[in-house]
Amino acid sequence: MAILFATDEWAKALQIELNGSDAYQKAAAKWEGDFYFVVEKGPGVPEDVYMYLDLWHGEARDAYLEKDASAQKPAFTLRAPLEIWKGVLDKKIDPIRGIMTRQLQLKGNMMKLMQAPKAATELVESAVRVDTEWPA
């Protein structure tokens, strides 16, 4: 059953996928850092949506929709409009290339992120496995 993107249920489904992925756990074994994945207000998205993901040494320790953007101070914030997130999950936009071309806006230590490209790839692979329904 498809899960609506940019919801608490979707974030938790991603957490389950990450924690069930040997490839992600291996690729992210040395990764330390949490994220806000921000879906910007636009068509189908009445206000900015903040999905919080706590990643630590190959484990997704927590994932949820954060109603109060100031509640967390994640190491990284990655923001984009819905159409760009859809492009990432459809594998039409590589996340690292998307950051470099500013389709995805990154706030955080770019050098740290660039040291873990395989972890980023495996995170996207896990997200692709979530049966996703897109907001209209």
Q: What is the pLDDT of residues 105-115, one digit of tens each?
A: 999 998 888 88
Q: Does an H or E element contain 60, and which?
A: strand 59-66
pLDDT for res 117: 87
- DSSP code, position 20: T
Residue 16 banded pLDDT, cuts 50, 70, 90? very high
Give me the CATH topology for the region 3-129: Nonspecific Lipid-transfer Protein; Chain A (3.30.1050)
User: How far is Cα 131 from Cα 79, in angstroms, rounded to an integer?
Assistant: 21
Q: Would the CA dihedral through 134, 92, 114, 42 be positive or negative?
A: negative
pLDDT for res 128: 95
User: How far is Cα 117 from Cα 136, in angstroms, rounded to an integer?
Assistant: 31
| Strand, helix or coil for residue 110 | helix
Q: What is the pLDDT of residues 20-71, one digit of tens each?
A: 999 999 999 999 999 999 999 999 999 999 999 999 999 999 999 999 999 9
Q: What is the pTM of this model?
A: 0.94
pLDDT for res 114: 82
